[in-house]
Protein backbone atom coordinates (compact mmCIF):
# COMPACT_ATOMS: atom_id res chain seq x y z
CA UNK A 1 0.00 0.00 0.00
CA UNK A 2 1.14 3.54 -0.78
CA UNK A 3 1.41 5.36 2.56
CA UNK A 4 3.96 8.20 2.41
CA UNK A 5 2.06 11.51 2.40
CA UNK A 6 4.44 14.48 2.72
CA UNK A 7 3.55 17.67 0.86
CA UNK A 8 6.96 19.33 1.26
CA UNK A 9 10.03 17.31 0.33
CA UNK A 10 13.40 18.75 1.32
CA UNK A 11 16.46 16.73 0.38
CA UNK A 12 19.36 18.16 2.35
CA UNK A 13 23.10 17.74 2.67
CA UNK A 14 25.55 20.40 1.56
CA UNK A 15 22.88 21.65 -0.85
CA UNK A 16 19.09 21.36 -0.60
CA UNK A 17 16.52 20.47 -3.25
CA UNK A 18 12.96 21.51 -2.48
CA UNK A 19 9.95 19.71 -3.99
CA UNK A 20 6.44 21.10 -3.39
CA UNK A 21 4.13 18.23 -4.26
CA UNK A 22 0.77 19.60 -3.14
CA UNK A 23 -1.44 22.61 -3.91
CA UNK A 24 -1.94 25.69 -1.70
CA UNK A 25 1.51 25.86 -0.13
CA UNK A 26 3.11 29.27 0.40
CA UNK A 27 6.83 29.97 0.05
CA UNK A 28 8.39 33.16 1.41
CA UNK A 29 11.74 34.43 2.66
CA UNK A 30 12.90 36.28 5.74
CA UNK A 31 16.40 36.82 7.17
CA UNK A 32 17.93 34.60 4.46
CA UNK A 33 15.65 31.75 5.49
CA UNK A 34 13.25 30.37 2.92
CA UNK A 35 10.11 29.09 4.61
CA UNK A 36 7.23 26.94 3.39
CA UNK A 37 3.81 27.26 5.03
CA UNK A 38 1.31 24.44 4.92
CA UNK A 39 -1.67 25.63 6.97
CA UNK A 40 -0.36 26.04 10.53
CA UNK A 41 2.86 24.14 9.79
CA UNK A 42 6.06 25.87 8.64
CA UNK A 43 9.40 24.45 7.49
CA UNK A 44 12.47 26.54 6.71
CA UNK A 45 15.73 26.20 4.77
CA UNK A 46 18.79 28.52 4.72
CA UNK A 47 18.61 29.99 1.23
CA UNK A 48 22.39 29.79 0.76
CA UNK A 49 22.06 25.97 0.75
CA UNK A 50 19.19 25.87 -1.75
CA UNK A 51 19.97 24.48 -5.20
CA UNK A 52 16.51 24.40 -6.82
CA UNK A 53 12.75 24.52 -6.17
CA UNK A 54 10.33 22.23 -8.03
CA UNK A 55 6.66 23.22 -7.79
CA UNK A 56 4.00 20.63 -8.65
CA UNK A 57 0.49 22.08 -8.92
CA UNK A 58 -0.67 25.44 -7.59
CA UNK A 59 1.44 26.76 -4.75
CA UNK A 60 2.50 30.38 -4.25
CA UNK A 61 5.99 31.88 -4.07
CA UNK A 62 6.30 35.46 -2.83
CA UNK A 63 7.78 38.08 -5.14
CA UNK A 64 10.63 38.54 -2.65
CA UNK A 65 11.35 34.81 -2.77
CA UNK A 66 11.41 34.74 -6.58
CA UNK A 67 13.67 37.82 -6.73
CA UNK A 68 16.11 36.28 -4.25
CA UNK A 69 16.17 33.01 -6.17
CA UNK A 70 16.91 34.88 -9.39
CA UNK A 71 19.69 36.91 -7.75
CA UNK A 72 21.25 33.70 -6.48
CA UNK A 73 20.65 31.84 -9.77
CA UNK A 74 18.40 29.28 -8.06
CA UNK A 75 15.99 27.86 -10.67
CA UNK A 76 12.30 27.55 -9.82
CA UNK A 77 10.75 24.78 -11.94
CA UNK A 78 7.00 24.60 -12.49
CA UNK A 79 5.09 21.40 -13.25
CA UNK A 80 1.40 20.57 -13.40
CA UNK A 81 0.06 18.52 -10.48
CA UNK A 82 0.53 15.38 -12.61
CA UNK A 83 4.14 16.16 -13.50
CA UNK A 84 3.91 17.82 -16.92
CA UNK A 85 6.67 20.42 -17.23
CA UNK A 86 5.37 24.00 -17.66
CA UNK A 87 8.39 26.28 -17.40
CA UNK A 88 11.00 27.84 -15.15
CA UNK A 89 12.05 31.11 -13.54
CA UNK A 90 15.77 31.75 -13.63
CA UNK A 91 18.18 34.65 -14.20
CA UNK A 92 19.84 34.76 -17.64
CA UNK A 93 23.07 36.56 -16.77
CA UNK A 94 25.16 33.47 -17.62
CA UNK A 95 24.48 33.72 -21.37
CA UNK A 96 27.70 33.73 -23.40
CA UNK A 97 27.10 34.90 -26.98
CA UNK A 98 30.42 33.55 -28.26
CA UNK A 99 29.68 30.08 -26.90
CA UNK A 100 26.19 30.10 -28.39
CA UNK A 101 27.72 31.06 -31.75
CA UNK A 102 30.00 28.03 -31.47
CA UNK A 103 26.94 25.89 -30.67
CA UNK A 104 25.29 27.02 -33.90
CA UNK A 105 28.43 26.34 -35.93
CA UNK A 106 28.97 22.93 -34.32
CA UNK A 107 25.60 21.55 -35.48
CA UNK A 108 26.72 21.23 -39.12
CA UNK A 109 30.20 19.79 -38.48
CA UNK A 110 31.51 16.25 -38.80
CA UNK A 111 32.36 16.51 -35.11
CA UNK A 112 28.63 16.67 -34.32
CA UNK A 113 28.08 13.35 -36.13
CA UNK A 114 31.00 11.75 -34.31
CA UNK A 115 29.73 12.93 -30.92
CA UNK A 116 26.19 11.78 -31.73
CA UNK A 117 27.44 8.31 -32.52
CA UNK A 118 29.49 8.13 -29.32
CA UNK A 119 26.52 9.11 -27.17
CA UNK A 120 23.99 6.74 -28.74
CA UNK A 121 26.41 3.80 -28.84
CA UNK A 122 27.06 4.33 -25.13
CA UNK A 123 23.33 4.61 -24.45
CA UNK A 124 22.72 1.24 -26.12
CA UNK A 125 25.60 -0.27 -24.14
CA UNK A 126 23.98 0.98 -20.92
CA UNK A 127 20.59 -0.36 -22.01
CA UNK A 128 22.12 -3.80 -22.56
CA UNK A 129 23.61 -3.76 -19.05
CA UNK A 130 20.34 -2.68 -17.40
CA UNK A 131 18.11 -5.12 -19.26
CA UNK A 132 20.59 -7.97 -18.68
CA UNK A 133 20.50 -7.37 -14.90
CA UNK A 134 16.72 -7.58 -14.69
CA UNK A 135 16.31 -10.34 -17.27
CA UNK A 136 18.71 -12.45 -15.20
CA UNK A 137 16.59 -11.94 -12.08
CA UNK A 138 13.59 -13.35 -14.01
CA UNK A 139 15.60 -16.19 -15.62
CA UNK A 140 14.92 -14.74 -19.08
CA UNK A 141 17.01 -15.72 -22.10
CA UNK A 142 17.74 -12.48 -23.98
CA UNK A 143 20.79 -13.64 -25.94
CA UNK A 144 19.06 -12.89 -29.26
CA UNK A 145 18.03 -9.37 -28.19
CA UNK A 146 21.57 -8.57 -27.03
CA UNK A 147 22.98 -9.66 -30.38
CA UNK A 148 20.43 -7.48 -32.20
CA UNK A 149 21.38 -4.44 -30.13
CA UNK A 150 25.10 -5.02 -30.65
CA UNK A 151 24.49 -5.18 -34.41
CA UNK A 152 22.70 -1.83 -34.18
CA UNK A 153 25.72 -0.36 -32.37
CA UNK A 154 27.93 -1.52 -35.25
CA UNK A 155 25.57 0.02 -37.81
CA UNK A 156 25.59 3.34 -35.95
CA UNK A 157 29.39 3.48 -36.18
CA UNK A 158 28.99 3.60 -39.99
CA UNK A 159 26.31 6.32 -40.02
CA UNK A 160 26.92 9.67 -41.71
CA UNK A 161 23.87 11.62 -40.50
CA UNK A 162 21.93 12.02 -37.26
CA UNK A 163 18.60 10.96 -38.78
CA UNK A 164 19.96 7.48 -39.51
CA UNK A 165 21.60 7.33 -36.07
CA UNK A 166 18.29 8.10 -34.37
CA UNK A 167 16.53 5.55 -36.55
CA UNK A 168 18.80 2.81 -35.23
CA UNK A 169 18.45 4.24 -31.71
CA UNK A 170 14.68 3.83 -32.03
CA UNK A 171 15.11 0.21 -33.11
CA UNK A 172 17.32 -0.46 -30.08
CA UNK A 173 14.80 1.22 -27.77
CA UNK A 174 12.00 -1.03 -29.00
CA UNK A 175 14.07 -4.13 -28.26
CA UNK A 176 15.14 -2.76 -24.88
CA UNK A 177 11.68 -1.80 -23.64
CA UNK A 178 10.36 -5.08 -25.01
CA UNK A 179 12.72 -6.92 -22.67
CA UNK A 180 11.91 -4.66 -19.70
CA UNK A 181 8.17 -5.15 -20.32
CA UNK A 182 8.65 -8.85 -19.51
CA UNK A 183 11.24 -8.30 -16.76
CA UNK A 184 8.93 -6.19 -14.56
CA UNK A 185 6.62 -7.76 -12.02
CA UNK A 186 3.33 -8.97 -13.48
CA UNK A 187 1.13 -6.11 -12.22
CA UNK A 188 3.38 -3.59 -14.02
CA UNK A 189 3.56 -5.30 -17.42
CA UNK A 190 3.37 -2.78 -20.27
CA UNK A 191 3.21 -2.78 -24.05
CA UNK A 192 6.25 -0.80 -25.18
CA UNK A 193 7.13 2.84 -24.64
CA UNK A 194 4.28 5.37 -24.70
CA UNK A 195 4.13 9.04 -23.66
CA UNK A 196 2.23 12.33 -23.87
CA UNK A 197 0.37 11.01 -21.99
CA UNK A 198 1.71 7.80 -20.45
CA UNK A 199 -0.83 4.98 -20.51
CA UNK A 200 0.56 2.71 -17.79
CA UNK A 201 2.45 3.03 -14.49
CA UNK A 202 5.85 2.04 -15.91
CA UNK A 203 5.71 4.73 -18.57
CA UNK A 204 4.37 7.25 -16.06
CA UNK A 205 7.48 6.68 -13.93
CA UNK A 206 10.06 6.88 -16.71
CA UNK A 207 8.39 9.92 -18.30
CA UNK A 208 8.48 11.84 -15.02
CA UNK A 209 12.07 10.76 -14.39
CA UNK A 210 13.22 11.87 -17.83
CA UNK A 211 11.51 15.23 -17.34
CA UNK A 212 13.23 15.84 -13.99
CA UNK A 213 16.69 14.86 -15.27
CA UNK A 214 16.27 16.90 -18.47
CA UNK A 215 15.64 19.95 -16.31
CA UNK A 216 18.71 19.16 -14.18
CA UNK A 217 20.84 19.19 -17.33
CA UNK A 218 19.01 22.29 -18.62
CA UNK A 219 20.23 24.30 -15.62
CA UNK A 220 23.80 23.03 -15.96
CA UNK A 221 23.83 23.93 -19.68
CA UNK A 222 22.73 27.49 -18.91
CA UNK A 223 25.34 27.63 -16.16
CA UNK A 224 28.04 27.24 -18.83
CA UNK A 225 26.64 30.16 -20.84
CA UNK A 226 25.12 27.85 -23.48
CA UNK A 227 21.54 27.67 -24.70
CA UNK A 228 19.58 24.43 -24.18
CA UNK A 229 17.66 25.11 -27.41
CA UNK A 230 20.48 24.47 -29.90
CA UNK A 231 21.39 20.79 -30.10
CA UNK A 232 23.20 18.48 -32.49
CA UNK A 233 21.43 15.10 -32.29
CA UNK A 234 17.66 15.59 -32.11
CA UNK A 235 15.71 17.69 -34.59
CA UNK A 236 15.36 21.35 -33.68
CA UNK A 237 12.12 22.36 -31.95
CA UNK A 238 11.68 25.94 -30.79
CA UNK A 239 9.67 24.82 -27.75
CA UNK A 240 11.97 22.02 -26.62
CA UNK A 241 15.46 22.20 -25.03
CA UNK A 242 17.14 20.04 -27.66
CA UNK A 243 20.65 20.11 -26.19
CA UNK A 244 19.30 18.89 -22.84
CA UNK A 245 17.61 16.01 -24.68
CA UNK A 246 20.86 15.25 -26.52
CA UNK A 247 22.95 15.10 -23.36
CA UNK A 248 20.43 13.09 -21.34
CA UNK A 249 20.49 10.13 -23.75
CA UNK A 250 23.39 8.23 -22.20
CA UNK A 251 21.90 8.80 -18.70
CA UNK A 252 18.34 7.55 -19.31
CA UNK A 253 19.02 3.86 -18.58
CA UNK A 254 21.69 4.66 -15.96
CA UNK A 255 19.59 6.92 -13.72
CA UNK A 256 15.91 6.69 -14.57
CA UNK A 257 15.23 3.25 -16.04
CA UNK A 258 17.29 1.48 -13.39
CA UNK A 259 15.54 3.19 -10.45
CA UNK A 260 12.12 2.54 -12.01
CA UNK A 261 12.91 -1.17 -12.31
CA UNK A 262 14.24 -1.17 -8.75
CA UNK A 263 11.11 0.55 -7.42
CA UNK A 264 8.81 -1.93 -9.15
CA UNK A 265 10.65 -5.22 -8.70
CA UNK A 266 11.76 -4.24 -5.21
CA UNK A 267 8.07 -3.72 -4.29
CA UNK A 268 8.78 -0.16 -3.15
CA UNK A 269 5.89 1.17 -5.21
CA UNK A 270 2.48 -0.38 -5.94
CA UNK A 271 -0.42 0.17 -8.31
CA UNK A 272 -2.31 2.22 -5.74
CA UNK A 273 0.42 4.87 -5.99
CA UNK A 274 -1.07 5.88 -9.37
CA UNK A 275 -4.19 7.62 -10.58
CA UNK A 276 -5.97 7.48 -13.94
CA UNK A 277 -7.51 10.29 -15.95
CA UNK A 278 -10.53 8.56 -17.52
CA UNK A 279 -10.98 11.35 -20.04
CA UNK A 280 -7.57 10.83 -21.67
CA UNK A 281 -6.61 7.38 -20.39
CA UNK A 282 -3.44 8.84 -18.90
CA UNK A 283 -1.78 7.30 -15.83
CA UNK A 284 0.09 9.47 -13.33
CA UNK A 285 1.66 9.20 -9.90
CA UNK A 286 -0.50 10.39 -7.04
CA UNK A 287 0.98 12.51 -4.24
CA UNK A 288 2.02 9.47 -2.20
CA UNK A 289 3.65 7.93 -5.27
CA UNK A 290 5.56 11.16 -5.98
CA UNK A 291 7.05 11.07 -2.49
CA UNK A 292 8.33 7.52 -3.01
CA UNK A 293 9.64 8.33 -6.49
CA UNK A 294 11.42 11.55 -5.52
CA UNK A 295 13.01 9.82 -2.52
CA UNK A 296 14.42 7.16 -4.82
CA UNK A 297 15.53 9.61 -7.50
CA UNK A 298 17.28 11.91 -5.03
CA UNK A 299 19.05 8.97 -3.42
CA UNK A 300 20.38 8.00 -6.85
CA UNK A 301 21.41 11.55 -7.74
CA UNK A 302 23.34 11.88 -4.47
CA UNK A 303 24.95 8.43 -4.56
CA UNK A 304 28.53 8.14 -5.81
CA UNK A 305 29.80 6.14 -8.76
CA UNK A 306 33.00 5.59 -10.76
CA UNK A 307 31.54 5.11 -14.23
CA UNK A 308 33.12 8.20 -15.82
CA UNK A 309 36.31 7.02 -17.51
CA UNK A 310 38.18 10.29 -17.01
CA UNK A 311 37.37 10.65 -13.29
CA UNK A 312 39.63 8.48 -11.14
CA UNK A 313 37.61 9.30 -8.04
CA UNK A 314 33.97 8.73 -7.05
CA UNK A 315 31.48 11.45 -8.03
CA UNK A 316 27.74 11.71 -7.43
CA UNK A 317 25.42 11.16 -10.38
CA UNK A 318 24.39 14.83 -10.10
CA UNK A 319 28.03 15.90 -10.29
CA UNK A 320 28.47 13.51 -13.21
CA UNK A 321 25.83 15.39 -15.19
CA UNK A 322 27.71 18.62 -14.57
CA UNK A 323 31.06 17.12 -15.60
CA UNK A 324 29.55 15.89 -18.87
CA UNK A 325 28.14 19.34 -19.65
CA UNK A 326 31.63 20.73 -18.96
CA UNK A 327 33.07 18.13 -21.33
CA UNK A 328 30.59 19.12 -24.05
CA UNK A 329 31.62 22.75 -23.61
CA UNK A 330 35.25 21.68 -24.13
CA UNK A 331 34.20 19.93 -27.35
CA UNK A 332 32.68 23.19 -28.58
CA UNK A 333 35.69 25.30 -27.60
CA UNK A 334 38.08 22.97 -29.43
CA UNK A 335 35.80 21.42 -32.09
CA UNK A 336 37.11 18.08 -30.86
CA UNK A 337 34.62 15.27 -30.07
CA UNK A 338 37.43 13.21 -28.53
CA UNK A 339 37.16 15.49 -25.49
CA UNK A 340 33.80 13.91 -24.62
CA UNK A 341 33.62 10.39 -23.16
CA UNK A 342 30.03 9.19 -22.48
CA UNK A 343 29.21 7.31 -19.29
CA UNK A 344 29.33 3.51 -19.55
CA UNK A 345 28.12 1.32 -16.72
CA UNK A 346 29.31 -2.18 -15.98
Q: Residue 74: CA atoms inside 13 Å, Cβ hemisphere, count?
A: 21
Q: What pLDDT is recorded for position 3? A: 42
Mean pLDDT of 174-197: 91
Helices 201-223 and 258-265 meet at what angle, rounded to 10?
150
Q: Which segment of 26-30, 122-126, 128-132, 255-259 scores lowest on mean pLDDT? A: 26-30
Q: What pLDDT is recorded for position 309? A: 82
**Pair 4, 288: CB distance under 8 Å:** yes
Identify the band that residue 11 occupies on the pLDDT scale cut at 50, 70 and 90: low
The tens digit of pLDDT for each residue in 41-70 reads: 888 889 998 888 899 888 999 999 999 988
Q: Tell me whether residue 313 is exposed, middle or buried, using C-beta atoms within 10 angstroms of its C-beta: 0 to 12, 13 to 18, 19 or more.
A: exposed
Q: What pLDDT is recorded for position 332? A: 94
Identify the band that residue 24 occupies on the pLDDT scale cut at 50, 70 and 90: confident
- DSSP conformation class of 224: T
Q: What pLDDT is recorded for position 269? A: 95
- Report percent pLDDT > 90 for the chain: 61
Total residue length of the chain: 346
Domains and CATH numbers, the chain: 8-89 (3.100.10.20), 97-267+303-339 (1.20.120.920)
Is a pLDDT exceeding 80 seen at residue 286? yes
- Report percent pLDDT > 70 for the chain: 95
Q: What pLDDT is recorded for position 263? A: 97
Contacts of 224 (CB under 8 A, 6+ apart): 94, 96, 99, 325, 326, 329
Mean pLDDT of 135-153: 95
Is a pLDDT exceeding 90 seen at residue 105? yes
Mean pLDDT of 171-183: 96
Q: What pLDDT is recorded for position 7? A: 52
Contacts of 207 (CB under 8 A, 6+ apart): 83, 195, 198
Mean pLDDT of 98-113: 93
Contacts of 39 (CB under 8 A, 6+ apart): none
Identify the band that residue 204 occupies on the pLDDT scale cut at 50, 70 and 90: very high
Contacts of 278 (CB under 8 A, 6+ apart): none
Is a pLDDT exceeding 60 seen at residue 2? no
Q: Where are the beta strands (DSSP E) in the chain?
A: 8-11, 16-20, 26-30, 33-38, 41-46, 50-56, 60-61, 76-79, 85-89, 274-277, 282-285, 304-305, 315-316
The tens digit of pLDDT for each residue in 232-272 reads: 999 877 678 999 999 999 999 999 999 999 999 999 999 99
Mean pLDDT of 212-231: 91
SS3 115: helix
Is a pLDDT exceeding 90 seen at residue 194? no
> Using CA atoms, how far apart are residues 120 and 238, in angstroms rounded to an integer?
23
In angstroms, the Cα distances linking 287 to 80, 290, 342 are 12, 5, 34
Residue 149's CB: how many other CB atoms inside 10 A? 22
Instruction: Report the predicted TM-score, pTM, of the whole model to 2 decimal places.
Output: 0.87
> Using CA atoms, how far apart are residues 322 and 94, in angstroms rounded to an integer?
15
Mean pLDDT of 285-308: 91
Q: What pLDDT is recorded for position 1? A: 45
Amino acid sequence: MCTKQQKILIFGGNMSYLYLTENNLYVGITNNQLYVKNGDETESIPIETLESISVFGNSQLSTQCIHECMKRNIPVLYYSSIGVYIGRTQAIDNTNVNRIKKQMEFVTTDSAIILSKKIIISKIHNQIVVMSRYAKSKNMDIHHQIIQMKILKTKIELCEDTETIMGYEGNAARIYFGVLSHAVDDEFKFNGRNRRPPKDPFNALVSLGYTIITNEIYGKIEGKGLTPYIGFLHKMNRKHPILASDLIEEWRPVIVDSIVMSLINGHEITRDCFTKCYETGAIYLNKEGKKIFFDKLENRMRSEMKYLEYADYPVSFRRGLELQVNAFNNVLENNNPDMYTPIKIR
